[in-house]
Structure 1
């Protein structure tokens, strides 16, 4: 029963889409009507600027952290953190109040992974960061990160691993069109190394 409650708590908090709040309160717009139509960090940053993208990311991380801490103290069994993560992803990707059309859950998944197992979480996130720099893509690295994390956790706890694999499948479903674009050569490229060099004032050769 604790697992059900953990999932429900995660789903309730997951329904809070920061992009929608930022869009309607600060920008006076509906973010789902612009860019990729996705109420998430990447779309907010790409369409309205990095400031709003960062604010969206921080809000999504905060809502996840609150839900995770509630479950951590109320239902202390470690496996419940994984179920809270599942609920958060379901709520974020399929919010009941917006016709089940939400974000893709990258920031939420990263938060959950680090909270559940910080060593494996940071290690797989580092791999994803390197892949992002090499591939100049924001679609494949997050999926690789979650898949690697899921397999690692499955090796240590099969139940937790299965829960994280389900989260991975949800992300694949949400990223499906982007995945097709990537493999057909139409994926959007993001050169994070160039962006970092530009910020530091380093000129590319």
Structure 2
């Protein structure tokens, strides 16, 4: 029963959209209709600037940190934490408050991983930053970082490895369109604007 409640709360929190809230606070354009159409921090940066992007990023991270950290200190088993993390990310991807039309859940997945340890968070940020700086693709940086997450976790806290693999698979599946565009040379870079 406790697991069901935590999964439900995590999904409902994940369904809150940092980009859509930022749109109201900063009076910006609709991120689902501008740029890449993705309600995430990178697209908010493209269409609305760094303030809206930073708000979106932090909101989408901490909406996952809260339920996962709470579950972590309730001594929930690692595999069950994986399901709670997935529920939060599914909330971001298929938000009940926004007709189930959400984003990629990269920041939310990062927030879900933070309770494992700040060392993991640092490694993921460093990986993302290096790839983003070198290649200028946010999606590629996210794909590389999330793909390496299970390896980092196995090195730091191996008991959470399988749970992180579950989360990694979900994020990679969500990025399949980005992978196809990257291979075709059609993926927009971080600073580029793109319609629809």
State the TM-score, normalized to the length of structure 2: 0.82
Higher mean displacement: 39-48 or 79-88: 79-88
- The separation in 1 between residues aligned to 2:45 and 2:124, in whole angstroms, is 24
- In 2, are the aligned partners of 1:42 and 1:53 still within 8 Å (CA)? yes
Q: CA deviation at 1:2?
A: 4.3
- Equivalents in 1 of 2:150, 2:111: separation in Å? 14
Match status 1:88 vs 2:71: no
Aligned to 2:188: 188
Residue 106 of structure 1 corresponds to 106
1:121–1:149 Cα contact (<8 Å) kept: no
Q: Supply the distance in 2 between the matched residues of 1:114 and 1:70 (Cα, whole angstroms).
A: 12
Q: CA deviation at 1:53?
A: 0.6
Is contact 1:143–1:168 with CA below 8 Å preserved after alignment? Answer: no
Structure 2 contact 63–111 (Cα < 8 Å) conserved:
no
CA RMSD of superposed structures (Å): 2.4
Aligned to 1:196: none
Aligned partner of 2:172 in structure 1 is 172
Mapped partners of 1:106, 1:94: distance in 2: 14
* CA distance 1:127–1:25, change in 2 (3 Å): closer
Is the Cα–Cα contact under 8 Å of residues 94 and 100 in structure 1 kept in the other structure?
Answer: yes
- The count of aligned residue pairs is 188
The aligned residue for residue 36 of structure 1 is 36
Residue 71 of structure 1 aligns with which residue? 71
TM-score (norm 1): 0.79
- Relative to 1, partners in 2 of residues 1:86 and 1:177: Cα closer, same or farther, differing over 3 Å? same
Answer yes or no: is the 8 Å Cα contact 1:6–1:81 preserved in 2.
Answer: no
Say if 2:22 is the partner of 1:7: no
Aligned-partner Cα distance in 1 for 2:181–2:100 = 23
* TM-aligned CA deviation for residue 124 of structure 1: 3.4
* Structure 2 residue runs without a partner (length 5+): 192-196
SS at 2:16 equivalent: coil
